Amino acid sequence: MDSRTDHRFDTQGAGITVQRALELPGLRSGLPEILAGADRLGRTVRWVHAGEVPNIASLLKGGELLLTTGYGLGTRPAEQRAFVRTLAERGIAALVVELGPRFARLPAALVDTARAAGLPLVQLHREVPFVTVTEEIHTEIVNGHYALLQRAEEVHRRCTEALLGGGGVPQVLGILAGFSGNPVFLETADGRLLYAAGEGPEGADPLQVWEGLRGPHKEAPPPAGSVLVEVPGGGPGTTGSVRARLVLLPVRSPLAPVHRIAAERAAGILAVVLMQARQEEELAARGRGDFLTDLAEGRIAAEDAPAQARVLGFKPGESPLLPVVMRLGDSLSPGGGWAVLARAVSEELAAVGVPVLLGVRPVEGRVLVLLGLRSESERAAVADRVAAALRAGVERAGMRRPGSPPPVVVVGVAGGWAAASAGLRHAAETATAAQGLTDRPWYDARRLDIDLLLWRLRDHPDLAAFVDRAIGPLRDHDHRSRPPLLPTLETYLAHAGRKAETARELHLNRQTLYNRLARIGELLGTDLDDPQTVLALSLALRARRHVL
């Protein structure tokens, strides 16, 4: 059972509640009567103490359930009031007085002071062996601690399995965020955010929580009730023996000791992962990639995006934003890994001279970039420099296999944050649709809308049937005979039917080209000068790479 919904335990104090202590057989057999603090029975009992001396408060640390027969309470009302006040100030959980030779009923001064101080006061109408009560409550407390450790151990097991299954730091933080029900942040030793997981109140993005509660106050301790655990490691970029810090903020629900225990276990796992070279760089780049993906997919509102981008170090002001997406394809070389790629591309982009937010998405094989332009008129010039920087970064990182096609870079439309959201989404889809096109330094997303539409229809049987009707005879011919005719048709259509340019590019004399075009028209049973035929053939040639 989740102890956050179990009245027996107070997860905030890692003990049991006063209410639970009164329900145990030892105290229950004494017929307890609650005289004060009935609304405070959820207090934590961390220990039990029995004593009869007037100054017993000085022996206590807080959180105890004090058992007494009343001999240390004093005989005068002033002494009794002082006795209760000092216990309340000490922060004990409850005062339990056994009636008998000293008191047949507790005096009014005692009861009134306990009520005023908000201290639970209980009188026992029957004698009970205090040693039995102590043993029962202590056993229950130990069991509670064991239950907390079991829950923390389960989180540790899940985190370990995630790593062994190929997951990384984001998966570990996600498990911890799900367990605590609160957002979780990993920051560097100097307070720079590396990664955020989980949700804020009402599903808010965790970057909003960071911006409001942690970002401006990273030099100060986190808010009360938070959990901060240091991730050991040392090394370059660290302070002392601390490599990073794990921060849990209680913005959705209170954090319990079990969450601290789980965070400490997770910190040990994170320390091992972060010992690998440049893991912090990759993690920060993945965090930025998650933000840009959430923006593209509409999970971050345009009005909230600037503040969250500032958390990640992107401050373009009122500049137009230019979305760019690079897709590396399906045959990546391990090279130096995504950490090296992120660093190499960042260094290349530094020379572009505009504000840049760069993120990686290893699962999709994408690099996402948002740039702040001085004006929309410099879009093409900036796109040239950014595309060159992206490709140079891939080569430096060794992420491209020999013989594999170069990465595809797609540039979206410049505009405000709302346009950036749609532009990133459009560019990301177009980068996938553009795989297999004739290589260019970069593609304008607006000029590939037909390719994007065909890509979206790739699984529809009508598209395959259309391609087969339009160019099937040519495809069959090229499988059986030489020279192949599809390249001739593609080049002819690419040059808008200009035969001289087509012959020059194919290194053919004009008569040979005329003969090939005549053969193409004969096989297809169509006229290559007919505009509708040309349109259909152009679409079929662009669609065939999606249906092969």
Residue with the bigger pLDDT between 399 and 533: it is: 533
Distances (CA, A) of 328 to 412, 455, 480: 17, 18, 34
Q: What is the pLDDT of residue 242?
A: 74
DSSP code per residue over 262-328: HHHHHHHHHHHHHTSTTHHHHHHHHHHHHHHHHHHTTSS-TTTHHHHHHHTT---TTPPEEEEEEE-
Average pLDDT over residues 108-117: 94
* 332 pLDDT tier (thresholds 50, 70, 90): low
In this chain, the answer to whether the domains covering 168-275 and 283-455 adopt an identical fold is: no
* 238 pLDDT tier (thresholds 50, 70, 90): very low
* 282 pLDDT tier (thresholds 50, 70, 90): confident
Q: What is the pLDDT of residue 334?
A: 52
Q: Per the structure block, which two tokens stand in for 266?
A: 């997770």
Each residue of 429-485: pLDDT tens digit? Answer: 999 888 888 889 999 999 998 888 888 888 889 998 999 999 999 989 988 888 999
Each residue of 114-157: pLDDT tens digit? Answer: 999 999 999 999 999 999 999 998 888 887 777 777 888 888 88
Each residue of 348-383: pLDDT tens digit? Answer: 888 888 899 998 888 888 899 999 998 888 999 999
Residue with the bigger pLDDT between 446 and 277: it is: 446
What's the rounded Cα separation, in Å, for the pair 110 and 123?
11
Sign for the CA dihedral angle at 113, 114, 118, 119 comes to: positive
Q: Where is 453: in which H helix or E strand?
A: helix 449-456
| Cα-trace Rg, the chain | 35
Least confident interval from 12-16, 412-416, 510-514: 12-16
Q: Are 280 and 194 in contact (CB under 8 A)?
A: yes
Q: What is the pLDDT of residue 219?
A: 66
Residue with the bigger pLDDT between 95 and 542: it is: 95
Average pLDDT over residues 501-523: 92
Q: What is the pLDDT of residue 4?
A: 37
What's the rounded Cα separation, in Å, for the pair 297 and 357?
17
Residue with the bigger pLDDT between 402 and 109: it is: 109
Q: What is the pLDDT of residue 10?
A: 46
What's the rounded Cα separation, in Å, for the pair 124 and 33?
6
Q: What is the pLDDT of residue 155?
A: 86
Least confident interval from 56-60, 78-82, 340-344, 455-459: 340-344
Residue with the bigger pLDDT between 395 and 163: it is: 395
State yes or no: pLDDT of 235 exceeds 60.
Answer: no
Q: Are 511 and 477 in contact (CB under 8 A)?
A: no
Q: For residue 17, give the 3-state DSSP assignment.
A: strand
**HEC sequence for 357-407:** EEEEECCCCEEEEEEECCCHHHHHHHHHHHHHHHHHHHHHHCCECCCCCCC
For the ranges 146-160, 232-246, 330-344, the one whose mean pLDDT is highest: 146-160
Q: What is the pLDDT of residue 520?
A: 92
State yes or no: pLDDT of 65 exceeds 90.
Answer: yes
Residue 46: other Cβ atoms inside 10 A? 19
Average pLDDT over residues 206-235: 76
pLDDT mean across residues, the chain: 85
First to last CA, the chain: 54
State yes or no: pLDDT of 402 exceeds 90.
Answer: no
- Which CATH fold would you assign to the domain 3-139? 3.40.1390
- Which CATH fold would you assign to the domain 168-275? Beta-Lactamase (3.30.450)
Each residue of 72-100: pLDDT tens digit? Answer: 888 899 999 999 999 999 999 999 999 99
Residue with the bigger pLDDT between 409 and 209: it is: 409
Q: Where are the domains of the chain?
A: 3-139, 168-275, 283-455, 459-547
Average pLDDT over residues 382-404: 85
- Counting beta carbons within 10 angstroms of the beta carbon of residue 480, is it exposed (0 to 12), middle (13 to 18) or buried (19 or more)? exposed
Least confident interval from 239-243, 297-301, 467-471, 516-520: 239-243
Q: What is the pLDDT of residue 215?
A: 62
Each residue of 169-211: pLDDT tens digit? Answer: 888 899 999 998 999 998 888 778 888 888 888 777 788 787 7
Least confident interval from 25-29, 96-100, 235-239, 359-363: 235-239
* 2 pLDDT tier (thresholds 50, 70, 90): very low
Q: Which of 201, 267, 281 is nearest to 237 (CA)?
A: 281
Q: What is the pLDDT of residue 27?
A: 92
State yes or no: pLDDT of 5 exceeds 50.
Answer: no
Residues 6+ away with beta carbon under 8 Å from 514:
499
Q: Are 374 and 354 in contact (CB under 8 A)?
A: yes
Q: What is the pLDDT of residue 13?
A: 45
- Which CATH fold would you assign to the domain 459-547? Arc Repressor Mutant, subunit A (1.10.10)
CATH tag, 283-455: 3.30.70
